[in-house]
Every structure is written in C-alpha cells, then in structure tokens.
Chains A and B, each alone.
Chain A
Amino acid sequence: LAKTTQPISMDSYEGQEVNITCSHNNIATNDYITWYQQFPSQGPRFIIQGYKTKVTNEVASLFIPADRKSSTLSLPRVSLSDTAVYYCLVGDFSSASKIIFGSGTRLSIRP
C-alpha cells in the first residue's frame, strides 16, 4: 500500500496561490497520483491526475519531482468556493482497495 502524508489543514486568502504537498515515499512504478476535492454533503470530485513532471488543467496544476516521492497540488488564485477537503491518492485503481484516501487536507479560504 502506498501511504500518503499531507497536512491536516491549511488556511489562505482569496486571490492567493495555494500549494498542498503530499508525501508518498513508497510509491510503486505503476502508481499514478490523483487529487480529489470534497465539499460538505457531497462526494469527492476529481481534480487532477499525473504520473511524472507537471500536469495542468483548467482548475489546478500538479507538480511531481523526478523521484516521485512527493507531489504538490497548486490552486491558482483561490476563492471562497475552494474551501474544501483535498485528498491525495497514490495507486492503481485496477485494485481500488490498495488506494487509501486518508483524512485529507482541510483548506479554508478567508476573504
């Protein structure tokens, strides 16, 4: 099992860039890194997925160093609506029980 470690909580302000780092020292060769966002009373929502280097989509960027032992989710110019719990997952969903959600990072955005 690829265990992940991420901060329990983070605070930031509207308009700032937020970076959430996740450690996954025992990542396997076939493992992908995936981030999900969850609002209260909703299921998690896929944000971004990557294998190495940098991936960017319309909502976030994911930076993965060469050794892949960590990754950083970058949210540009956050707003109040980005207040949520963010989960870093590592693994291969061909066997989903090996992918642990953990407790996530509770991000709070202030005006």
Chain B
Amino acid sequence: EAGVAQSPRYKIIEKRQSVAFWCNPISGHATLYWYQQILGQGPKLLIQFQNNGVVDDSQLPKDRFSAERLKGVDSTLKIQPAKLEDSAVYLCASSLGDRDEEKLFFGSGTQLSVL
C-alpha cells in the first residue's frame, strides 16, 4: 500500500517569498490533515479536511497560510509571505475517517527553511 506522498522534501526560501507544499493522501482516505512541526516540538495541527470540506482550521494563520483540497484527494498548503518563524517541517497526514479507530498515516514531510 502506497503511503502519504509529499513534495518537495526540502525547500529554502527568503522571508517574504511564497511557497507551496503538495500532499497526496492514501487512496480512499477521506480525512486529510496538515501539521507544522517546529524543531524539538510535537506536531501542531494547521487544518483538517473531510473530503474537500474544511473541518477545523482554527489554528491556521489565515493572514498568510492557505490550504485547499480540490476534488477531495490531493491538497496544497501555501504560505504567502513567509516569515522566519515559519521554518519548520510541514507534515501531511490522512485517515479513513472511521470513528472506531482513528489512525493517522503521516508523510515524511517538507522541511522549510526561511532565511
């Protein structure tokens, strides 16, 4: 079974530039999550999708971050403009959305460095 695919693996940009990350979840997974993980900390949820609708974006800094999940499959996360404090690993995860066992499958992430 193919896992969650993310690209790019690494990205280096200067502050005030824009950047986009792409995620392809496991086939059939209805729920998709984007997390931000700063070095030395646990992942922090940015946004949760159920199919192509937003379930929870309460922790997404909407002045600079945006995300979409067209057709309920792939998703993109964008930062515009980037700040130094956005340097982190951006993780995408997906799950079946089955309430009986909520198991998240994570991708390897995109490591963003903002200079």
* Interfacial residues, chain A to chain B (CB-CB below 8 A): 32, 34, 36, 41-46, 49, 87, 92-97, 99-104
Contacts and interface: CB of A to CB of B under 8 A. Distances in A.
Interface of B: 4, 31, 33, 40-45, 48, 55-56, 58-59, 91, 93, 95, 99, 101-109
A101 B42 contact: yes
Given A32-B102, A44-B106, A96 B48 contact: yes
A95 B102 CA distance: 11
Contacts of B108: 41-43
Contacts of B91: 43-44
Contacts of B41: 103
Contact of A104 (B31, B42, B103, B105): B42
A93 to B, nearest CB: 4
